[in-house]
Chain A
Amino acid sequence: MDVSFGGRLRGLTFLETGRKLLTPEDMAKKRSSGKGADEPEELVRNDEQEQELALLANSTDPHIIEIQRKITSVFDLFDQSNKRAVDVREVGSIVRALDLYPTEAEVEEIIRNVEESSGKGIVKLERFMPYVTKIILDDNLYKPIPYDRLRKAFKLIDKDRKGILDPAKIRDIFMREGEPFVQEEIDEMMNFCVNKQTGKIHWQEYLPKLCKYEAPADGPE
Chain B
Amino acid sequence: MQGSEEQQSALLLLTRESKNDSLGSIRMATYITLKAAILIQRWYRQYLARMEIRRRYTWNIFQTIEYAGEQDQMKLYNFFNALLTHIPQKPGIDVSAKDSANETGSTDSLSLSSGGETSSQTGSTHRSSSSKMKLRKRKLFSGSAPGIDLEDIPVESDYKGPHIKFPMTLQNLQELIDGFKRKKILHVRYVASILRVAGANLRARPNFNQPSTALSKQITICGDLHGKLDDLLVILYKNGLPSPENPYVFNGDYVDRGKRSIEILLILLSCFVLSPDSVYLNRGNHEDHIMNLRYGFIREVKLKYKVFAGRILNLVDQVYRSLPLGSIIDGRVLIVHGGISEQTDLRLLEQVDRHKYVSILRPPVVETLDEEGRVTQLSDLYSSNHSCSEWRQVLDILWSDPQNGNGCSPNTFRGGGSYFGVDVTERVLHRHGLQLLIRSHECKPDGYEFTHNNKCLTVFSASNYYEEGSNKGAYVKLIGGPSEPLEPYFVQFNAASPKLRNMTIRQRVGLVEASALKELRSKIQEKQEQILLCFKELDNDSP
Contact = CB atoms under 8 A, between A and B. Distances in A.
Contacts of A93: 49, 52-53
Interface stretch (B34-42, B124-132, B184-192, B369-377): B34-42
Interface residues of A, number: 73
Contact of A97 (B50, B450, B490): B50
A85 B405 CA distance: 7
A203 to B, nearest CB: 10
A14 to B, nearest CB: 5
Interface in B1-16: 5, 8-9, 12-13, 16
A192 B504 contact: yes
A83 B34 contact: no
B351 interface: no
A79 B404 contact: yes
Contact of A83 (B405, B489, B513): B405
A188 interface: yes
A173 B493 contact: no
B45 A96 contact: yes
Interface stretch (A53-61, A128-136, A209-217): A209-217
Nearest to A157: B36
Nearest to B173: A3
A108 to B, nearest CB: 13
A185 interface: yes
B422 A177 contact: no
B33 A19 contact: no
Interface string A167-193: 000000110011101000100110110
Interface stretch (B69-77, B201-209, B236-244, B526-534): B236-244
A194 to B, nearest CB: 10
Contact of A13 (B8, B489, B501, B506): B501
A145 interface: yes
A138 interface: no
Contacts of A14: 234, 237-238, 493-495
A69 B239 CA distance: 48
A16 B492 contact: yes
A21 interface: yes
B403 A83 contact: yes
Interface string B394-424: 0000000111110100000100000101100
A174 B50 contact: no
A63 to B, nearest CB: 23
Interface string B43-59: 11111111011001100
Contacts of B419: 81
Given A13-B500, A80-B404, 11 more contacts: A3-B246, A5-B177, A9-B181, A14-B494, A83-B404, A83-B421, A93-B49, A96-B50, A103-B38, A150-B39, A153-B39
21 contacts: A9-B234, A12-B233, A12-B496, A13-B497, A13-B500, A16-B492, A18-B491, A21-B454, A36-B31, A77-B60, A81-B401, A81-B403, A83-B407, A93-B53, A103-B38, A104-B41, A120-B422, A156-B35, A157-B33, A157-B40, A178-B37
- Sorted nearest first, the 3 A-B pairs with minimum C-beta distance are A217-B510, A81-B403, A96-B49
